[in-house]
Amino acid sequence: MESQRIILHVDLNSFFATAEQQANPKLRGKPVGIIKATGRTCLIATSVEAKKLGIKTGMSVHEAKKNYAKIILVPADFDKYEDITFRFINICKTYSPVCEVFSLDECFIDITESERLFGGFLNIAFEIKERLRSEVGEWMSCSIGISHNRLLAKLGGSLVKYDGLIYIDKKSVFEVLDKCELTGVLGLGHGLGRHLGTLGIDNFPKLRNCPLPYLISNFGPFWGPHLYNLARGIDGSPVNSFHSLADAKSVGRTYTTHRNLYKKEEIERLIRNLCEEAAAKARRMKMAGRYVGIALRGAENHFWRHITLKHYLDDGRDLFDICLRLTETWRGEYVRFCGITLSMLTKKEYLPTPLLSSDLRREKLIDAMDKVNLVWGDYAVYPAQLLGTNIIRPEVNGYFGDKTFRLNFLRSSG
Ligand SMILES: [Mg+2]
């Protein structure tokens, strides 16, 4: 039986706007919209007061002004936000070293081992709220979800709004799930949501009625079981501590483009290109990873999403698929920079060989491609998606971040 864990999901309320209100008391209690420093077209965040007037993140300034003409527009200041995040995480870390920074305004804390030292989980939750006010700023507030896994902690937190707190025990799991929207759940992008929609599955009870083989045949061997578990509030994924993430080996590639990329296909090809390189690096190290991260940057637009998967991958196409899902919420105008990370790497030999014949065939194909590329040079063969583009090749210096590794590899494979 799964041992009972206790996980907190802490989420700062309306973070960017609240941070501005914290810094400038004149903004407090007023509808505030945060805009990019340049290209002031849409709101990247809104204050609690603006939300009450129906002004949402992503709205154009024009639309927002129709709702409330006197909305105060403030340019984003990421240095300020990162400073607050740093202080916020430092508070959270004192309750357990197993603290995962999920985004600038969210973290997961696994307090299973440390809970008793601090007088129980409720005490920890109230202390975090209090210390946020006393140590970061009196205007700061957060919502906290507490449960036995990450999925439920995060979902719970999303149900309580401003300054909320919720504890979900095992008995109330279905009741809570059925109050949540299926879309917007951790790791489920719009694409998957649409696919579910076409099958008539638009809420948790309907998803729970789907047998596992049905889900696998429609969504494949990864998303099928994932959805099956999701419907039941089952999530065994660990909270990744600060330290373990930093220690974990990773491969990746960042690239700054020579011009702004506006077209979806261009951006996707760039992502695919970098995914192929990161995955090829992992394969040459005879490793596979299950932590995928992607960063996109346009003007002032910092976009960073990541996911910890339950299975390991080393195929550029799989990596690309995950990255596409992670970028579904990206609303930038154009891309100037892209970074891909594959980490939490483990040795391929530790992993089971694929069961499905289609997966085996795919692995053999990739293996053959790697062999050709080793002899004829990187990207002698490449996915058709990259046809007709200027392929970005691995940088000669810092290949793998470790040249001796490549030399050793060439020797051992000769
Ligand atoms: Mg938040």
The per-residue pLDDT for range 235-272, each reduced to its tens digit, is 988 887 755 444 446 788 888 888 899 999 999 999 99
Rounded CA gap, 279 and 143, in Å?
37
Q: Give the distance (Å) from ligand 1 centre to CA of residue 103.
A: 9
Higher pLDDT: 348 or 270? It is: 270
Higher pLDDT: 302 or 136? It is: 136
Q: Give the distance (Å) from ligand 1 centre to CA of residue 265.
A: 31
Rounded CA gap, 209 and 207, in Å?
5
Q: Give the distance (Å) from ligand 1 centre to CA of residue 184.
A: 14
Rounded CA gap, 82 and 267, in Å?
27
| Paired tokens of 22 | 């914290």
Residue 372, judged by CB atoms within 10 A of its CB (0-12, 13-18, 19+), counts as exposed
Q: Give the distance (Å) from ligand 1 centre to CA of residue 129.
A: 14
Q: Give the distance (Å) from ligand 1 centre to CA of residue 371.
A: 46
pLDDT at position 246? 43
Rg of the chain in Å (alpha carbons): 23
Residue 25, judged by CB atoms within 10 A of its CB (0-12, 13-18, 19+), counts as exposed
98: three-class secondary structure by DSSP:
coil
Q: Give the distance (Å) from ligand 1 centre to CA of residue 14.
A: 5
Q: Give the distance (Å) from ligand 1 centre to CA of residue 331.
A: 18
pLDDT at position 397? 33
Higher pLDDT: 103 or 325? It is: 325
Q: Any idea where the domains of the chain sit in the sequence?
A: 1-166, 181-231, 248-413
Contacts of 277 (CB under 8 A, 6+ apart): 253, 316, 392, 394
Q: What is the CATH number of domain 181-231?
A: 1.10.150
pLDDT tens digits, one per residue of 328-337: 888 888 998 8
Q: Give the distance (Å) from ligand 1 centre to CA of residue 80.
A: 16
Q: What is the CATH number of domain 248-413?
A: 3.30.1490.100
What is the pairing mode between strands 99-103 and 72-75?
Answer: unpaired
Q: Give the distance (Å) from ligand 1 centre to CA of residue 64.
A: 20
pLDDT at position 189? 63
**How confident is residue 315, by pLDDT bands cut at 50, 70 and 90?**
very high
Q: Which CATH architecture is the domain 1-166 placed in?
A: 2-Layer Sandwich (3.30)
Rounded CA gap, 137 and 141, in Å?
9
Rounded CA gap, 90 and 110, in Å?
15
Tell me the C-alpha to C-alpha distance, in Å, between residue 111 and each of 5, 69, 285, 412: 8, 45, 35, 45
Q: If you write DSSP's letter for every residue of 181-226 in order, what string do you get?
A: -STTSTT--HHHHHHHHHTT--SHHHHHTS-HHHHHHHHHHHHHHH
Q: Give the distance (Å) from ligand 1 centre to CA of residue 187.
A: 16
Q: Give the distance (Å) from ligand 1 centre to CA of residue 140.
A: 11
